[in-house]
Amino acid sequence: MAETAGGSGVLAVPTDGALALFADRDGAAAGLDERALAEAAAAAAGRALGRPVASLYARQEHTRLTYTFSAAAELEPGAHLVGTCDALITAEPATALVVRTADCLPVAIAGGGAVAMVHAGWRGLAADILGAVVGRLRAEFGVGPGALAAIVGVGVGPCHYRVGPEVTGALARLDASGAGWRGDGVVDLAAFAAGRLTGLGLDPARVRVLPGCTACSPAYHSVRRDGPAAGRQWSAIILT
């Protein structure tokens, strides 16, 4: 399966038995409606796989809460709300995991027959939601970090992310060594996320960061640029 972008507004990145999908503004016309965004993600994943799929989404609150979905039978196609959390995990086929972002990072993780989709802003990253997800993948599916690949999608870039010492200090408590994420009053959240994943044991060669900045590019929704009423991009991962 080739990596594609273009007219649909959705970048499709095959990875490790899974397909990660990242919508930009054109691919996320549903605005702020959580269910509509999850339905759009299910439809795009279904088109990519050539069959109807279900999608799971959550109320996102910048926590380190994860939710693992397992089922005896496939869900009905379409969107399903699972509750409050900021990372979804599954080893079930035909089930797309969806997050919404508009400056925070969408992080897709796959390997060993399992997938995870993470909503990661600085609060979630500082609470080590990536560590929580990597830990759950090992505990629940026996998948160690060395078997995982990750894609960090587009969020706010260091060009638009001046922060106070409380943010830098909170992130610096975690092992994200050698990532070059920390500047003078500036944080590169994507570099931090990639560095944290490496710190957790992922192979740096299998951690990819998609280039861009949501606040710079009109191709993306951005709360920093457009205020709290900004729309959201959806991102998803599904086992293939």
How many chain residues bind Zn ion (CB under 5 A)?
Answer: 6
Q: Please report whether residue 219 would count as binding Zn ion according to CB under 5 A.
A: no
Least gap, CB of 197 to Zn ion (angstroms): 22
**What string marks each residue from 169 to 208 as x (binds Zn ion by CB under 5 A) or -?**
----------------------------------------
Q: Please report whether residue 41 would count as binding Zn ion according to CB under 5 A.
A: no
Identify which of residues 186 and 216 has a Cβ nearer to Zn ion in the complex: 216
Which residue has 């009423």 as its token pair?
Answer: 229
Identify which of residues 121 and 145 has a Cβ nearer to Zn ion in the complex: 121
How far is 62 from 38, CA to CA, in rounded Å? 18
Contacts of 80 (CB under 8 A, 6+ apart): 38, 54, 55, 56, 57
Identify the helix (H) or strand (E) that includes residue 116. Answer: strand 114-120
Which residues between 128 and 157 bind Zn ion (CB under 5 A)? Answer: 157
Q: Which of the 8 DSSP states describes residue 6?
A: S
Q: Which of residues 142, 159, 169, 178 is near Zn ion by CB under 5 A?
A: 159
Residue type, 13: V
> How many C-beta neighbours within 10 Å does residue 45 have?
27
Q: Give the interface with Zn ion as residue ranges (CB under 5 A).
A: 157, 159-160, 213, 215-216
